[in-house]
Structure 1
């Protein structure tokens, strides 16, 4: 969709703003609103409070009193400073946010959309915690049309951004459905197999349920050698035999980072224990990523791993393949097998002793390979569709930002725009804009 430009422009005198419509007035945000400080909410917080307490992420609590009533735009003072919020009603906002009193000659929604174009990175103070000052916000340059035109621009942006947001939400739902489908396909394949006609048996493991009758259900250590990595300390960060090693965040699902790895001393007497071989399965041992796994495919000639990782190596390559067991680990993690006491809290550490005792279902090697190949193809298609959806979301978000910027800086003329006949704009705004 293309929109016309204004008949005449003038130089704004602001490099990043460029030319603006000739009849717009150059000013700053203080010409449209006054900025006020939020306040600590502890004394007014109550679960029975009728007024929302607003932070940078929206409402997070309730209050018995309100700080302001009416239309306002909330701007971050500390922390999350680049997510302005529009609100209309009675509210309390926290002391790390500013709220605004919109001037009579300005439209609150126009001020909000204008705020979305502020280059917060340019103004942010150079501290560990990003912050903004009232002075910087108040003096931020702005090209200001009449209130009538501000209202029309806001009507246009309300409609167009709602359309874009609906498309984004649709793609986000698609991504969630694809994720659920992928998990369901993996779970079924590694617990039921690919042949729906084979006889089944009770696995004896509650979360596994029934499995094909010819599969073995045994503890992990029956099929895999499990070795925890080498602990890092100051002495081992130096030495004569410095070797690259993998950390927890280097091991993501199905992928391993090998760029810019740190080094640790691995003397000859321990190298055979910790040196990775092609086909080894690496499993995260601790933190919030318990169970996350990937296969080492010999990306480097020589590589090792730290204590926070388990290395699983099949006792017999004629019996097991890590390709299959990688999907088993993904299924087990997604189904919450590695949780503490059944309370859905991820365990702090998946010790080698625990991992050795977990019982899984193992089909014959040829069937493991067939299942792994099937899941690889299916996952590839799934991830490709997901990537397309994510790419479209990125394009839509860029389109949204560009449209807002173009409208509030006068690069497009929407004075003649009207919503489709099936869309009814709010009466108050229509009356003012017509």
Structure 2
């Protein structure tokens, strides 16, 4: 890519050199803080931050219900640049800079800056987003929770290209990032299709749908339908029992948790405020157990709630732990069938109470389809081979997405700071 003919030191540590004809000024020379309040309740809809953009809140109820709050909000002008300068010492993930697409309001806890006439807002949006991406904002702010103010921003040095260049750079970045985002979106769709395919592979395998030439019979299980003629149907309690061993007297230290359908290890020594003072109330789980999180069913319809245990450890007693006791049922086959039951959201028709929790008393009545043991093991081997291949494809695409996003951020940074010439 092209470069400018001559460069000079910008005096800005994170930028270094800029094109020789660019100026360097402080933010306050080109932006005013916008502190205008919605005191007459002119605007009834408010913006919120969402992935580095401002989007309108989808408020419920009568708009007058929000009047007392919204009259204290800041009135934004089109092309105002807004910073979310809250909790800088806790949150290193959020995208903190956005531009206002049309007049509206936003909480006064955020910083709103109105551009002066001699600059292009979109160029400076890209510049401030680059600062955000490089975590420059996290070295600013004050107070225990490191909160950013306009006073922290206004004295920051920024490059000032000629206005025509600002516009050309902004247009170039709009075009190029849109192209990259389109590529990323297409790859994300590939991942979703592969994930759907993976679930269909598992479901077809554990319900006997792999070979269409087999003689079939009705299973009597609504979510399964027909099964191979040589398969049996049993109630869960005929093959599986509740497994509970208290950690109170054992004090096991290998802390496990169910996350996105996988049993993961956690650091028992971490003090992040989410772990209890004592693990005496936890339960011990063993290799081959199946763990289920069957709480808050009415609130969360996305989580995968079934996990397979491969090592001894402890989990919260809020989980339900199951143990296969009948040797004619392979524990991994049982797990995969229960996983498909979970993926099809069958748990949501069960449970009781205000929070719709499920206990073993409800689980024991679930009916499971059981092939001969040798076939169960063949099915599990087939599933694991296919899943491994699909997961490798997903990982490859995720790596491509990461590279595209890294390239996008590098391109934005190089163009907006004059390392690359686009006009």
The TM-score, its normalising length taken from structure 2, stands at 0.81
Q: Name 2:221's counterpart in structure 1.
A: 205
In the alignment, the residues of structure 2 paired with residue 120 and residue 163 of structure 1 have an alpha-carbon distance, to the nearest angstrom, of 28
For structure 1, the 5+ residue unaligned runs are 47-51, 416-434
Match of 2:137 among 105, 117, 120: 120
Deviation at 1:362, TM superposition (A): 1.7
Aligned residue for 2:252? 243
CA deviations over 1:320-367 (Å, ceiling 9, x no partner): 112112211221111111115699x99643312122122222222112
Query: Which residue of structure 2 aligns with residue 96 of structure 1?
Result: 109
1:137 corresponding residue in structure 2:
153
Partner of 1:309: 319
Unmatched 5+ stretches in structure 2 = 65-69, 270-274
Question: Are 2:422 and 1:414 aligned?
Answer: yes
Measured against aligned partners, the alpha-carbon deviations of 1:141-194 in whole angstroms (never above 9, x if no partner) come to: 211111111011111111111111111111111111111111222222222342
The answer to whether the 8 Å contact 2:9/2:17 transfers is yes
Provide the C-alpha distance between the structure 2 equivalents of 1:332 and 1:40, rounded to a whole number of angstroms.
51
Matched, 1:28 2:26: yes
- The aligned length equals 388
Q: Which residue of 1 aligns with 2:188?
A: 172
Which structure's residues are more often strand, by fraction? 1
Residue 189 (structure 1) aligns with = 205
Deviations 1:375-403 (A, max 9, x none): 11111111111111111111111111111
CA distance in 2, matches of 1:304, 1:54: 44
Structure-2 change in CA distance of 1:109 and 1:229 (3 Å) = farther
Give the whole-Å Cα distance in 1 for the aligned partners of 2:7 and 2:357. 64
Q: CA deviation at 1:61?
A: 3.7
Q: Quick one: structure 1 residues 264 and 115, their matched pair in 2 at CA, closer, same or farther if it must change by over 3 Å?
A: closer
Displacement of 1:258 after TM fit? Answer: 6.1
**Ranges of 4+ aligned residues in structure 1 off by more than 6 Å:** 62-66
Residue of structure 1 aligned with 2:11, choices 9, 13, 35: 13
Q: Are residues 1:60 and 2:57 paired?
A: yes
Selected match of 2:364 from 356, 359, 364? 356
Pairwise CA RMSD of aligned residues? 3.3
Offset, 1:114? 0.9
CA distance in 1, matches of 2:391, 2:29: 49
The one-character-per-residue Cα deviations of 1:263-299 (angstroms, maximum 9, x if unpaired) are: 7459xxx9xxx6544322233343458763333334x
Tell me by how many angstroms 1:125 deviates.
4.0
CA shift in 2, pair 1:123/1:82, >3 Å: farther
Residue 335 (structure 1) aligned with residue 344 (structure 2): yes
Deviation (angstroms), 1:315: 1.6
Distance in 2, matches of 1:5 and 1:362, equals: 68
Structure 2 residue aligned with 1:420:
none
